[in-house]
Structure 1
C-alpha cells in the first residue's frame, strides 16, 4: 500500500532516494510534493559516549629532584605560599664576648707572654706623660671652654700616644668653618662625648654623663655617624677614641680603631690573635660602632689584668703579643 502524501493526502507517494542525513526522500505523483520520511536523526557525536577523563598517575618524586612547585593564582606557587605562611626563624643574635669566652689555652699563652714582656718592653715616650696631662686639663669641664683653636688643631694632628688616622676631612671642615666656628664646634663634640648634653657627671664617673643623657657608647655612635647636632665633619671613630684615650686614661687603650684595614692592628685583629675571640661585626642596631669600640677596649683591658705601668704600656704589649702570631 502506497503512502499518503502529507500535502494532498493522496496515496501516491513514490520513493526518490536517500537524503544526505540518511532519511528517505519521497515524492507525491499526484501533486508533486517532496518530503523526507522519518524524524531527523541526532548527530552521532552528540550521542556517542564520552570517554572518561583519565587522571594522570603522578610518579613518585625521585630523591634529589628539585620541585618547581604548583602554580597558583597570582603567578605564585603553592610551595611559595606555604613558605610565606610559615613564620621565618628569628635571626641569630650574636652576643658580645666577655672574659669568660676566652679559651683557657689563650689565657695560658697570654700569661706566658706577659712573663716575657719585661725583657721586650720599649722605653716610654718621653713626651707622653706631659701630653696626657696637658690634654686631660684641656678636655676637662673647666678647661675645655678656654682651649685655643691652635691647641685643638695640634691635638688632632699629633702622633703622641696615638695618631688620629687620616685627618684630611677634618682639616677641610676646619678650613671651611674658620678657626672660631670650627674650634667652637669641635669643643661641642668633645663636651658631648665626655659629659653628654647636660654637661653633668654621672654616678659612676665623669665620662658617663647625666642619667638623662644617652650612655657614652651611644653618644660615640651618634657623633661617629654624624647623627648628632654636636657632630663635626671629620670627627669619626679614630679621633673620638683618641679623645677618650687622653681624657680617660684609666679606661681606654691608645688603640683607636676596631677594624684596621691592611695594617692588621685593630682591636678586632688583636682580640682574635691574642684572646682567641671574635668581635661581632658593626651594625646599626645592636652592635653599633660606639658599643663595639668601647666594649672591645674593655674586653682587652679586663683580659690583660695587672702588671703594666699604665694602659699605654698595656697597648704596646698587645701590639707586641699580636705580632708573635
Structure 2
C-alpha cells in the first residue's frame, strides 16, 4: 500500500536488492523500499491498528523544517493575546448544553444556534442543516441533533470515537441529523475536548484544512480522504492529534494554536520537505 495515498493498486517493483528488499513505485510517483511480499490489487482493507501505526508522525518532520517552524513560533508567541471572554463564556455554556443532562433537557433552538454561530470557530455555510431543520421542525430536528451529538460524545465504548464520527458522516445511523457533518461534529469536539482538538474544522479544503496545513507547514503528506483504506473519521482525528503535537506548548488555547498554524503556512514557501514527494475555516474572535 502506498504510504502517501494508501492505494494498493498499480504498484510495481522497480528494483530488487540482494537481501530481498524491493524498491517499489506507485502510480502516483511515490517510491519506497518494501521488505514484505509485494503488494497486489484486491488486498483486504487494513485494520484500524495497522493504519494508525502507519499514519505520519511528528518524528517524520525533517529537522530543517522543524527548526524553521520553531523560529516562526517564537516570533508568533512574542505577542500573546488574552483569551477572548465571549469565546470562554460561549463555550462554557455549550459544555453544559452538551453534557448528558443538558442534551436531554435543552431548548432545541440552542442546538440550531450553535450550528450557525461563528464564536470560537466558524463552521461555514450550513444551508443543508438549516433547510433540513426548517422542514422537520424544532421538535424533530432537535431530537435528531441531540441523538447525533450524544452518539458522537457518549456512544458505545466498543466503537472508537473515530469510527463513531465516520458513522455519522456516512449517515448510517438512522437518527443522524441531515447536514450536521464534519465541521459541526468537529466543532462539538472542540467545545467538549478543548485540551485535544484544534479549531480547524475540516480535514481538507481549498481554503486549507488539516491536510493542507500539514503539507505547507511541516512538509508532511497525509493520506487522501477518498482512499478506500482510510476513513475520513479517522483522518480527522489523527491529523488533529498530529498537528496539536507538532504545534506544542506555549499557546493561550486551541484557537491560538490553530491561528498560529494558519499564520505559519502563509509564511513558509519553497519546495515541500519531508513526508515524501509531492477543513476548515479560520477561527473567529
Answer yes or no: same fold by TM over 0.5. Answer: yes
> Per the alignment, do residues 169 and 217 of structure 1 end up closer, same or farther by CA in structure 2, a change over 3 Å counting?
same
Inter-partner Cα distance in structure 2 for 1:194 and 1:89:
37
User: Contact conserved, 2:144 with 2:177, CA < 8 A, in 1?
Assistant: yes
1:42 matched residue in structure 2: none
Match of 2:177 among 232, 235, 240: 232
Write out per-residue CA displacement over residues 30-78 of structure 1, whole angstroms, 9 at most, x where no aligned residue: xxxxxxxxxxxxxxxxxxxxxxxxxxxxxxxxxxxxxxxxxxxxxxxxx
SS in 1 for 2:120: coil
Task: Extract unaligned runs of 5+ from structure 2.
Answer: 1-36, 269-285
- Give 1:95-244 correspondences, 5 Å limit: 95-121=54-80, 124-196=83-155, 198=156, 210=157, 212=158, 214-244=159-189
1:246 has 2:191 as partner: yes
Inter-partner Cα distance in structure 2 for 1:144 and 1:154:
14
1:268 has 2:211 as partner: yes
Inter-partner Cα distance in structure 1 for 2:38 and 2:92:
55
2:6 matched residue in structure 1: none
Cα offset for 1:113? 1.0
User: Contact conserved, 1:223 with 1:230, CA < 8 A, in 2?
Assistant: no
Cα offset for 1:270? 0.6
User: Contact conserved, 1:193 with 1:219, CA < 8 A, in 2?
Assistant: yes
Larger radius of gyration between Structure 1 and Structure 2: 1
Inter-partner Cα distance in structure 1 for 2:223 and 2:178:
27
Inter-partner Cα distance in structure 1 for 2:101 and 2:211:
35
Inter-partner Cα distance in structure 2 for 1:88 and 1:233:
43
Cα offset for 1:299? 0.2
Name which structure has the greater RCO, CA cutoff 8 Å, separation 6+: 2
Inter-partner Cα distance in structure 1 for 2:64 and 2:101:
47
Match of 1:280 among 205, 215, 223: 223
Write out per-residue CA displacement over residues 202-235 of structure 1, whole angstroms, 9 at most, x where no aligned residue: xxxxxxxx2x3x1110111110111122311101
2:282 matched residue in structure 1: none
> Per the alignment, do residues 135 and 88 of structure 1 end up closer, same or farther by CA in structure 2, a change over 3 Å counting?
same
> Per the alignment, do residues 116 and 285 of structure 1 end up closer, same or farther by CA in structure 2, a change over 3 Å counting?
same
Inter-partner Cα distance in structure 1 for 2:99 and 2:175:
17
1:321 has 2:264 as partner: yes
User: Contact conserved, 1:132 with 1:246, CA < 8 A, in 2?
Assistant: yes
Task: Extract unaligned runs of 5+ from structure 1.
Answer: 1-86, 199-209
TM-score by length of 2: 0.73
TM-score by length of 1: 0.65
Cα offset for 1:121? 4.7
> Per the alignment, do residues 99 and 177 of structure 1 end up closer, same or farther by CA in structure 2, a change over 3 Å counting?
same
